[in-house]
Structure 1
Amino acid sequence: MKEIQYVRGDATTPIGNDKRIIVHICNDIGGWGKGFVMALSKKWKTPEKQYREWFKSKENFELGEVQFVAVEEDIWVANMIAQHKINRNEKGEAPIRYESVKEVLTKVSDFAREKQASVHMPRIGCGLAGGKWECIEPIILETLSEKDVEVTVYDF
């Protein structure tokens, strides 16, 4: 099993020369405009453009789905839908959906192994989605690390 590598830095500039996948969590209502996506949009226009087109198409645009967007020759951005709406619900539950995180990261794992790519991310699900890292990290270990996919987590 590979250990998660924690580094200080910017996840939009993933370290290494291998094939790399930058993953981040999106909501299921087509909203793009706060948090990590702002850094992505500043660097590349395609992830936002394709996410918005995907939302409009309504084709498989739902929790647990992933869209892989090629942004450079050896770099993809994975738009992962694992956040329900954008605010806490009436019960006070955060928008993050841990079951969906597991689903999307399982798909990322398959894609990463197929492409022989490493996975790079900020602390996904812990910002606007309201998730807790102690719940997300075990999912990363189970879906990626235990499948021998290299993971780097960036703290800005």
Structure 2
Amino acid sequence: MVEIRWVTGDATSPSAEGPKVIAHICNDRGGWGRGFVLAVSRRWPEPEAAYRRWYRDRGGNDFGLGATQLVQVAPELWVANMIGQHGIKTSRSTGPPIRYDAVRLCLRHLAAQAGRLSASVHLPRIGVGLAGGCWEQIESLITGELVGRGIPVTVYDMP
């Protein structure tokens, strides 16, 4: 049985052989500039550029809560931009921007794409930083939607 593998390290440098997908949560307002996306953008320009185009052209595509965009950044490496956050947290926010139902849909889409690529999935503790989510709920979604479908998952904690 596949289980989540926990490592200390940088999720933008996945420690595995074969095809890999680095997954992270994005907001539905077109904002890219805080949190894990900064580490992604330092390594590759393509995921940010693709996300901004996806948002800009949202009237004619699937951009929105629950959508997942896969962006290839190397021969066996993709970044998954997953729309699981409604807006951004502000001083006037009444609750966290994370949307668990959207994260579930994103992970379901990711499972299908990772399965098609025979890829493992690598991520930080998504949805708990700027999105304000509860890790136990997110971990349960990852277990159900990815691990439960046989997708190898590695979660990275920074040292």
The Cα of 1:91 is off from its aligned counterpart by 7.0
Show the 5 A alignment for 1:62-101: 62-87=64-89, 92-101=94-103
Q: For 1:3-152, what aligned pairs fall within 5 Å after superposition?
A: 3-58=3-58, 59-87=61-89, 92-152=94-154
- Counterparts of 1:131 and 1:151 in 2: how far apart (Å)? 19
Preserved contact between residue 62 and residue 81 of structure 1 (Cα < 8 Å): yes
For 1:134 and 1:107, the matched residues in 2 are separated by 21
- Divergent runs of 4+, >6 A: none
Instruction: Give the % identical residues.
Output: 49
Task: Give the distance between the partners of 2:90 and 2:19, measured in 1 at CA.
Answer: 36
Report if aligned partners of 1:4, 1:141 keep a CA contact under 8 Å in 2.
Answer: yes
Q: How many pairs does the alignment contain?
A: 156
Q: Which amino acid aligns with 1:32?
A: W
SS in 2 for 1:120: strand
Counterpart AA for 1:105:
L
Greater mean deviation of Cα atoms: 113-122 or 81-90: 81-90
Extract unaligned runs of 5+ from structure 2.
none
CA–CA separation in structure 2 for the residues paired with 1:113 and 1:143: 12
Task: Quote how far apart the aligned CAs of 1:89 are.
Answer: 9.0
Question: How far does residue 108 in structure 1 lie from its aligned partner after superposition?
Answer: 0.3
Q: Is the 8 A contact 1:89 1:95 kept in 2?
A: no
**Alignment check: 8 A CA contact 1:88 1:95 kept:** no
Give the alignment's Cα RMSD to 1 decimal.
Answer: 1.2
TM-score (norm 2): 0.95
TM-score calculated relative to the size of structure 1: 0.97
1:92-138 Cα distance to aligned partner (Å, 9 max, x none): 22000000010000000001111100000000001000001011001
Unaligned runs of 5+ in 1: none
